[in-house]
Structures are given as C-alpha cells and as structure tokens.
Amino acid sequence: MGVDSTEAGPGPDEAAIAADLVRRIAAGETAAEGQLVERYRRGLRYLLHRLGALPDLADDVQQETFRIVIERLRHEGLADPAGLAPFLRGTARNLLIAERRKTARRRTWGDTGELAQAVAPAPSQLQSVLLDEEAEMVRRLIGELPTDRDRQLLLRFYVGEEDKDSICADLGLESLHFNRVLFRARQRFKELLERFQKQQVPVKEGR
Amino acid sequence: MDHAYIEDNQIADRYVMGTLPPEEVERFENHYLSCPECLDRLDLVEPLQRGFKRMAGQDAAKLAATRQLAFVAWLARLGRSRQIGFLLAALLLIAVLPAGLLLRGTAERGRELALARSDLEQERQRSEQSAAETARLRSKLEANQRDLASQRQQLAQAQQPQSVTVLNLDVERGASLSGGEPTHNVRLPARSGWIILSIPIDPPFQRSYVAVLWDTHGHEVKRIADLKNQSGTLSFSLPPSLLPPGDYSLTIEGLSGRFTFRVLPPA
C-alpha cells in the first residue's frame, strides 16, 4: 500500500464532532441524539448492507444499534469520546452476529421452507434489467476509452482483481496515470448512471 | 484516513471487491460511517464493479454461444451424406467412449496390480534373504560363543598355578634300564604342570638333535626331533600325562650313552 500519511480512525473534525455529541448526549440534550442518528444513519446502513444484512434486518439492527449506543451515552458516556464511530461500528457488527446466531439456533434441518430461503434467489426481471444496464454502461465506458492500454487497466483491476503495482509494472504505467484512468472511469460511469436514472424517473411517472 | 490516501490507494474500490486487508477494512469502515463523500464513492464503485463483472460474464457467454453456432453452421453446410457420416461417427464415439474408458481403467488397474505383485515378490525375497542372513549370523554367533567358552576354559586353566619340574639328566654310559636303579628321580606334579628334561651335550655340536624316550619295556614313548643346542644343553618339556610312574630312558641319536630316570607318583 502507498505511503500512509494519516492516522487510523476519524480525522480531527470527526473526533471533535464525535466528542461534542457524546458530551451533549451525556448532558441530556435530546437534539444531540437526533444529530447522532442523522450523522451516522447512512454509513451504518451501508455497513450492514456490506455485512450481508437484508433490508428488513438492516433496519432492525440499525435501530437497535442506535438505541443501545444512546442509552450507553446517556448513562455512562464513553471512555474515548472521539471513538464514537468505532463504538457504533462494533455494536452494529455484534448485534448482527448475535441475530445470525439466533437464527441459526432456530433453524431446523430438513425443513424445506428454510432450505428454499437459504438458496440465493434469482434476480427479478427488473433487477436483471438494471444489472444488464449497468453492464451496458460499462461497455460504453470501455468503448470510449482512448487507448487499449486503459481498457486493459480497467478490466484487469475490476474483473481480474489484480493489484495496482502488478498492473502498472506490466503495462509500463505510472501510479499517477493509473489513478487518473480510474478517476475518469468513475466520473464517466457516474454521468452515465445519472443519465440512466433520469430516464427512469419519467418512465415511472408515466405509468 | 484522508481522502487523498483513499483515492491514491483505491481503498473504496478494493473494499467493494473484498481485496482490502482486515486492518484497512476496519479503518475505512470507521471513516466512512460519518463520511458522505466516501459513501457516495462506494455507491458509485459498487455498480461499476458489478457492471464490469456482468459484462465479462456476458462476453464469455457470448463467445461460447458463438462457438456453438459456428459449429452448427459448419454442420449445416455439410452434404447430407457427410452429415449422416458425422452423426454416425458421433454415435460411434458415444458408444465406444465408455468402453474405451472402461478398458483404459481396467488396464490401469492391471498395471497397478502387477506393480503391487512385483513389490510383494521383492518384499518376500528381501524377507527370505533377511531370514537366511539371520540364520548365518546366529550360527556365527554360536561358533563365537563356543570359541569364547573354550578360550575361557583355557584361560581358567592357564590361570591355575602351574608347576614345572626340571630334571637335569647325566649320561650313564653302558647303563641299561634293567641294569640297575636310575640315579635320577622326578615326582609327578599334583596338579597340571610340565616336566622339563635338560641334557648336557659335548662338542662338536650338531645342527639339531633327535631325542627318543623309552619305557621300561623298551617301547618308544615319544620322539622329539629338531632339538637345538642351547649353550651345551638340550632342553625340552613333556606333559605329565605322557609319563606314568615308572622307569624311563632317553637316548639322543648321534650321541653315545643313555639317560635314565624314574618317575614317581605325585606326593
């Protein structure tokens, strides 16, 4: 990995904001509790999604996480107020793990209903269309690239999952060029995605 | 963790792909929990990566389908007789393939069996050789043990006190065994031992001498050859078992006279 010029954990702003939130919640300020939820809700939701929680379960775990953390901050506070994000993250992970263990204990082997649920469901028609559209956008993105070397770079990184150093060494690229190609690809994909999403809205409204 | 670091090291991309080390995952998760910019980045990278994978899958499927279509087209272009021939060949292949595989499997099993038998035979031969070698070594060990016992016995005998009796004889010219009493007596030792006879000789000395021991009946008891002069004396030893009590005479060939002596029983 490249040179790490930053410290692990939240940056100075995050540390200060987290410490302030912890102090105010401990002082009984209800508005601070709302700010905490607002600040971390999206990130916590994404984390649970990455950990494989389905939307309903993610909602439940997220809500329970905030309840536990706020209760704790109201009564005991935090030894390291700047460590609010790691505390939220750890609580959410532990709750999800506990929920999975509880589900596993309830599982009865040989129950066909359970087995049917255990199999990953095939994507719905709409999902398939969206996935195909994503692939199409990538295809278009690849087609717009000026050189074959840049195409190879993206394919090897996103499909082959090769690391940056080996790709740069093979293609004779500098790290800066690699970063630039990736950045432009993301920007172009973003444009295509936004255009596609705009096209979808009138369709939905028209129905 | 700042955004320059995240951008330079493709942290968001690698997080989505699952190729980020665990410690980096922890740091990044703690960061993005309150970072809308990184969450936007993740929301973009996830469909991008998914799109790449789906595109690659579609391309691979398309390539396989194209190959299959090309094969069907080639088949369709063939004449009817060639198509039938190809079909027959395919059917024959399908029919023969299992038998071929079975035969191949059987041949392999046969080879493995032969190999196992050969190994077994070699092992048996080695075992037999080992048994023969063991018997030979055992026999050798027994012989060595016998030798050792014998040597121990000899050693024990040798360690017992030996008595040596030296008898210096003088010539009695004209004397005979029946002529009178011997002037020299020697008593047999009570235990094992030797009797050494010492006989003076006069010059000129011969290169070697032969001594003959006679009993009282004139029978030759023992002949000792190749005796050497040792400062005017001939010496040799006799075991007591050779000399039961009685009178004896000794002659030296080439010298006149005889030496008489009497052997007395042990005290």
A37-B42-A4 Cα angle (round to 5): 95
- Record the pTM: 0.53
C-alpha A201/C-alpha A203 separation (Å) is 5
Q: Is B7 in the A-facing interface, judged by CB distances under 8 Å?
A: yes
**Residue A186: which region, alpha, beta or left (left: phi > 0; alpha: psi -120 to 50)?**
alpha
Question: Which pLDDT score, from 0 to 100, does residue A97 have?
Answer: 92
- Selecting from B30, B56, B58 the residue whose C-beta is nearest the C-beta of A9 gives B30
Task: Measure in Å the smallest separation between the Cα of A108 and chain B Cα atoms.
Answer: 31
Sorting pLDDT into bands at 50, 70 and 90, what band is B203?
confident
Cβ partners under 8 Å of residue A68, min gap 6: A91, A95
Give which of A90, A74, A92, A91 is closest to A21, Cα–Cα: A74
**Chain A residues lying within 8 Å of B31, measured CB to CB:** 9-11, 14, 85
Cβ partners under 8 Å of residue B7, min gap 6: A179, A183
Maximum pairwise Cα distance, chain B: 150
**Measuring CA to CA, how many Å separate B53 from each of A132, A137, B48, B57?**
11, 12, 9, 6
Q: Mean pLDDT of all residues in chain B?
A: 85
Average confidence (pLDDT) over B230-238: 88
- Side-by-side strand order, sheet with B185-187: B185-187, B258-264, B246-252, B209-215, B220-227
Question: Which pLDDT score, from 0 to 100, does residue B29 have?
Answer: 94
Whether B34 sits inside 8 A of A17 (CB atoms) is yes
Interval B64-113: pLDDT, tens = 878 888 877 877 777 777 778 878 888 888 888 888 888 888 888 889 99
Q: Is A192 in the B-facing interface, judged by CB distances under 8 Å?
A: no
Domain A12-106: CATH class, spelled out: mainly alpha
Q: Quick check: helix, strand or coil at residue B7?
A: helix
Q: Which amino acid is at A102?
A: K
Q: Which residues pair with B212 in a beta bridge?
A: B223, B251
CA atoms within 13 A on the CB side of B124: 6
Q: Is B50 in the A-facing interface, judged by CB distances under 8 Å?
A: yes
**DSSP at B172:** B
Domain A125-206: CATH class, spelled out: mainly alpha
Q: Extract the tokens encoding A55.
A: 């939307």
What is the residue-level pLDDT of chain A in tens, covering all 207 positions? 333 333 444 455 888 899 999 999 999 999 999 999 999 999 999 999 999 888 899 999 999 999 999 999 999 888 888 889 999 999 999 999 998 888 877 766 655 555 565 566 677 788 888 888 888 888 887 888 788 888 888 888 888 888 889 999 988 888 898 998 888 888 888 888 888 878 776 655 554
B49-B51-B57 Cα angle (round to 5): 105
**Chain A residues lying within 8 Å of B55, measured CB to CB:** 135-136, 138-139, 142
Q: Quick check: helix, strand or coil at residue A177?
A: helix
Q: Lowest mean pLDDT: which of A6-20, B190-204, B211-225, B227-241?
A: A6-20
**Measuring CA to CA, how many Å separate A96 from each of A59, A65, B239, B259, B267?**
11, 10, 110, 128, 116
Q: Is A82 in the B-facing interface, judged by CB distances under 8 Å?
A: no
**Chain A residues lying within 8 Å of B61, measured CB to CB:** none
If one compares A95 and B179, the residue with the highest pLDDT of the two is: A95
Whether B31 sits inside 8 A of A10 (CB atoms) is yes
Question: Which pLDDT score, from 0 to 100, does residue A44 have?
Answer: 95
